[in-house]
Amino acid sequence: MEIENFVKEVSKICDEFTINIEDGVTDEVRFSQNSIDLNNSWSSPSYNIFVARGKKTAELSFESLEPGEAQLKILHDMLEIAPENPDFYGINPVKYNYHGNQNYHNVDLYDIAGELIQGSLDGGSEKAAGLAYLDHTRNRIITPWNDQEYYNSGLEIVVRAFRGSNSGQEALHFGEGSMESANPYNTGMAAAKTASMSDKTVSINEGRYDVVFSPYTIGTVLSYNVGFLSYYSINAGLSPFIGKIGKQIASENVTIYDDPLNGSGVGYRPVDEEGTATGKLNLIENGLLKTYMHSYSTGKQSGNQSTGNAGIMDPAPWQLHMSPGNSTPEDMIGSIKSGLFINNAWYTRFQDESNGIFSTVPRDGVFLIKDGEIAGNVSGIRISDSILNILKNVVEVSREEKYVKWWDEIAPSIMPYAMVKNVNITKGF
Amino acid sequence: MDYTEDILKYLSTRSQFADVRYMNSTTRSYSYRNGQFDGQNRSDGSGYAVRCVNNSIAMSFFNDSNFPSMKSKLENLIYNSRKDGKHKIDISGGIKTSWNELGKKKVADTPDSCKIEFIKDMDRIMGESGASVRFTNIMDTNVNESYANSSGSSISGEYSRIYFSYMAGISDSGSFEESSEEYGSTSGYEFIDSLNFAELIGNDIRTLKASIHGGKVAPGKYDLVVGPSISGIVAHESAGHPMEYDRIIGREAAQAGGSFIGAGREEQRVGSMYVNVIDDPSIKGSFGYYAYDDEGIKSGKRYLYRNGFADTYIHNRESAAIAGQKANGGGRSSDWDMEPLARMSTTYIEPGEQSPEELIESVKHGIYMKNFTEWNIDDTRFYEKYVGKEAYLIENGKITSMVRRPVLETTTVNFYSSVDGSANDLTFHAGLCGKGDPEQGVPVWMGGPHIRLRNVYMK
């Protein structure tokens, strides 16, 4: 069934709807031990449809060349059995106009993988693992009030360089606006440089340390915690930020905003899932909590406007950006008498989401700083702290920022280095 | 129409090895939150995963509805497979069979209203037990899958999986505690009938509430008895993952990481003689059950650790060939458009002969940590942390006062080397295990009995 006819039929079975269509090609090359493991290539259109009849809602996603009668019947049947969803307050009826990116850039992923490996080896590592993704997607969002289309091109490169038991990692993303600036060879070199920062291994005691967070470390911490700024979490009663709008929740060095119109990253998103035009959204400004993230529905429920972050029921950021400061990572390390530099972290898990208490495991370059210099590699430690403590203790932010995205640990974001005082570090016995 | 034969025929003269997997899946999900319906989702996925091996390995994922339109994708696949790269792969074949596990109370015969009523009821029980923050979700998946390769295998399978999870949060005296639990099975909805969820959830939330008033553990050395959910997660995280051979050879190094166990190190000691850890996809009813894996290899029981030593790696076709071994049924894909990786299914610590009470009786000064909240482990699977949810002091063989959030932060070898006894109460818990890039979450069971550790540092 042609999409225009399908839309007409959908409108007959419900009051409101959104249809999100993604169609394109994604390619991936994975490598390890300095050689190619695999090429993956995906090409299939995917549909995500949200329908509502009064407060009854249903969501259907599927992959198909064309939607048809089968999907209409499924949506109809889902609405028939649905209890009312009291928190649904409608889909945005405002008409928006905008122009999305329409340029494609092509790159050879095998060449990129080769340059990542070569840069890593030339930088002093012994072996490298990683991947490169190239994505070309046509996105279309149809609602009763909007029918909008934009194109996305994105490149992601990840390299982990090993030198003995030490490693360093870089994981960058490039949108249509910056893809030509990608330099995989230098990225491989940078990962190897981190792996080569020290050949010495040292042990530390548990305790509170001043820590330089790399863009990856601050990126993973914020990626795991930004969901607490969704109104869905606030309304559910599960967030450390409940009741804190207008309050100082971070040091004045912290400004964090959603940056969906920045076409230099793969998080570029000119329109949200219900057709609302997106824009820069200050979440935390000089430490003050400015707003939660809203769809039209959560905005209406709470007496606010949409912030262009639908997910209709659970708003989310598109491309988090922490504003740069005036420092440099070298100055930060140089100013620490006894502390740590942590290049990356993973496996963040919470013991208390209401207070934002979690731990995460540093990796890919973890170093003791003594008297302003790197004094050795550290292993077996954790950041065991809370998001509120970390935000309040940011004392320096770097001018340099990186477009970071890694696996499911770091959402597409733009992050600087940050120096955080008194971070609780634990270790195993 | 099924184009598997056409695809294989097209690739037969253009590849050294090729295989085709077609998968069609439907997943339905229903949620309740804080006393109200929170939405329903359905996801339908279907398509071909085609792998072609020449000078390297290439895969293509598509769902075209006619063969001519697939040809350009197959040509591109062949072109990519002729580039330089790793190309070892176990090419075994010749299996022609089918299998299914749809259970007794089939998903297709279970009305949506029953599923919604169930989570509504669980939400009510959570509320009546004192939880102020409540999320429940029930999900079922139906999968039809066929696999064929250029070595003559042709296998079809059909199965359904049921998954129920909840999260509860309790506030009391200005403090907060939370609990998340997951249950799953490869079966029909009889699985939901087989457990007394009302009692399980009610007890969990009542003890959660009591734990808020528990004392802090004085840091130091204790004997420790852990419950099945902890022995299960330890089996999964620090025996299953480090024995996945693709990790050992660095294939996942830039994502889920490597392994503290090296290649050719099957004889490495990892714990005491009491430690036996098994991975077994062939356990009927288990959440990760399959008769044949997603690469057409028959599943079976494998000892990962035996008598305290590393024993058998988990292999897919690719990792097995690199190791010079045969694939052993560990090749799993989370969906039709994902590559098969070396994965766990049901991973558990083998039970012993004693009762849990007997394990505790011999502890003079210790801690009983029944289950956990926060946990994580480093990417070599050596440094791990488990925070207790329901936990008590043990004094002179008796469980006494409750303690709040005790922490075991240790190493894999320290943990397994401290084990001196396993009880006879093997119990399984469900989970979704993440790995690969794009990340793939596959259903697993994690299991074990109560086990006793001597002289470990707790804080």
Interface test mutation site (partner A, options B177, B405, B437, B457, max chain A beta carbons within 10 A): B437
Contact B380, B351 (CB under 8 A): no
Nearest to A356 by CA among A323, A398, A397, A385: A385
Q: Do B251 and A352 touch (CB under 8 A)?
A: no
**A131 DSSP β-pair partners:** A30, A158
Interface list for A 258-297 with B (CB within 8 A): none
Write the residue in B33, B377, B414 that is nearest to A347 by C-beta.
Answer: B377
Q: How many beta carbons lie within 10 A of that of residue A203, not counting itself?
A: 11
What's A76's domain CATH number?
Answer: 3.30.2290.10
Check: CATH 3.30.2290.10 for B4-211? yes
Instruction: At A166, list the tokens.
Output: 């030490």
**A352 DSSP β-pair partners:** A357
- The answer, yes or no, to whether residue A102 has pLDDT greater than 80, is no
Radius of gyration from C-alpha coordinates of chain A? 23
Name the closest residue on chain B to residue A56, using Cα atoms: B39
Q: Do B83 and A40 touch (CB under 8 A)?
A: no
Question: In sequence order, which residues have a C-beta less than 8 Å from that of residue A201 and are 6 or more positions away?
Answer: A165, A376, A377, A378, A379
- The answer, yes or no, to whether residue A100 has pLDDT greater than 90, is no
Interface test mutation site (partner A, options B26, B41, B180, B386, max chain A beta carbons within 10 A): B41
DSSP assignment of B45-92 equals: EEEEEEEEESSSEEEEEE--SSHHHHHHHHHHHHHHHTSSS-------
- The answer, yes or no, to whether residue A307 has pLDDT greater than 90, is yes
Task: Give the Cα separation of A341 and A324 in Å (integer).
Answer: 18
The reply to whether A169 and A225 lie within a common domain is: no
A118 CB near a chain B CB, below 8 Å? no
Q: Residue B265: its pLDDT value, please? A: 67
Q: Residue B282: its pLDDT value, please? A: 98
A207 sits in the region (left: phi over 0; alpha: psi -120 to 50; else beta) called left
The reply to whether A115 and A223 lie within a common domain is: no
Q: Residue B359: its pLDDT value, please? A: 97
Task: Give the Cα separation of A332 and A417 in Å (integer).
Answer: 9
The reply to whether A220 and A188 lie within a common domain is: no
Question: Domain range spanning residue A292?
Answer: 198-429
Tell me the pLDDT of chain A averaged across its residues: 96
The reply to whether A218 and A365 lie within a common domain is: yes
Tell me the pLDDT band of A66, cut-offs 50, 70 and 90. confident
Question: In sequence order, which residues have a C-beta less than 8 Å from that of residue B218 and are 6 or more positions away?
Answer: none
Q: Which residue has the tokens 């099924």?
A: B2
The reply to whether A363 and A426 lie within a common domain is: yes
The reply to whether A140 and A219 lie within a common domain is: no
The alpha-carbon gap from B43 to the nearest alpha carbon of chain A, in Å, equals 5
Q: Give the residue extent of every domain in chain B.
A: 4-211, 220-458
The reply to whether A154 and A202 lie within a common domain is: no
Q: Residue A28: its pLDDT value, please? A: 98
- The answer, yes or no, to whether residue A305 has pLDDT greater than 70, is yes
Name the closest residue on chain A to residue B72, using Cα atoms: A43
Q: Residue B266: its pLDDT value, please? A: 64
The reply to whether A165 and A237 lie within a common domain is: no
Q: How many structural domains comprise chain A?
A: 2
Interface test mutation site (partner A, options B376, B387, B457, max chain A beta carbons within 10 A): B376
Task: Give the Cα separation of A338 and A373 in Å (integer).
Answer: 9
Model-level pTM? Answer: 0.97
Tell me the pLDDT band of A177, cut-offs 50, 70 and 90. confident
The alpha-carbon gap from A331 to the nearest alpha carbon of chain B, in Å, equals 29
Q: Residue B173: its pLDDT value, please? A: 87
- The answer, yes or no, to whether residue B294 has pLDDT greater than 70, is yes
Q: Residue A243: its pLDDT value, please? A: 98
DSSP assignment of B337-405 equals: TS--EE--SEEEEPP-SB-HHHHHHT-SEEEEE--EEEEEE-TTS-EEEEEESSEEEEETTEEEEEESS
pLDDT, tens digit (0-9, with 9 covering 90-100), for B206-263: 999 999 999 999 999 999 999 999 999 999 999 999 999 999 999 999 999 999 998 7
Structural domain ending residue among the three candidates A147, A171, A192: A192
Interface test mutation site (partner A, options B238, B385, B410, max chain A beta carbons within 10 A): B385
Name the closest residue on chain B to residue A354, using Cα atoms: B176
The reply to whether A387 and A258 lie within a common domain is: yes
Task: Give the Cα separation of A217 and A209 in Å (integer).
Answer: 15
- The answer, yes or no, to whether residue B354 has pLDDT greater than 70, is yes
Task: Give the Cα separation of A212 and A235 in Å (integer).
Answer: 34
Most distant CA pair in chain B, distance: 75
- The answer, yes or no, to whether residue B46 has pLDDT greater than 90, is yes
Name the closest residue on chain A to residue B65, using Cα atoms: A65
Q: Residue A101: its pLDDT value, please? A: 67
pLDDT, tens digit (0-9, with 9 covering 90-100), for A243-296: 999 999 999 999 999 999 999 999 999 999 999 999 999 999 999 999 999 999
pLDDT, tens digit (0-9, with 9 covering 90-100), for B247-287: 999 999 999 999 999 877 667 999 999 999 999 999 999 99
Size of interface A-B (CB pairs under 8 A): 222
Question: In sequence order, which residues have a C-beta less than 8 Å from that of residue A133 and are 6 or more positions away?
Answer: A26, A27, A28, A109, A154, A155, A156, A157
The reply to whether A181 and A248 lie within a common domain is: no
The reply to whether A136 and A216 lie within a common domain is: no
- The answer, yes or no, to whether residue B145 has pLDDT greater than 80, is yes
Structural domain ending residue among the three candidates A139, A174, A192: A192
pLDDT, tens digit (0-9, with 9 covering 90-100), for A313-369: 999 999 999 999 999 999 999 999 999 999 999 999 999 999 999 999 999 999 999
The reply to whether A166 and A315 lie within a common domain is: no
User: Residue range A167-184: average pLDDT?
Assistant: 95
Residues of B whose CB is below 8 A from A31:
85
Name the closest residue on chain A to residue B455, using Cα atoms: A429
User: Residue range A63-68: average pLDDT?
Assistant: 85
A4 CB near a chain B CB, below 8 Å? no
The alpha-carbon gap from A114 to the nearest alpha carbon of chain B, in Å, equals 11
A352 CB near a chain B CB, below 8 Å? yes
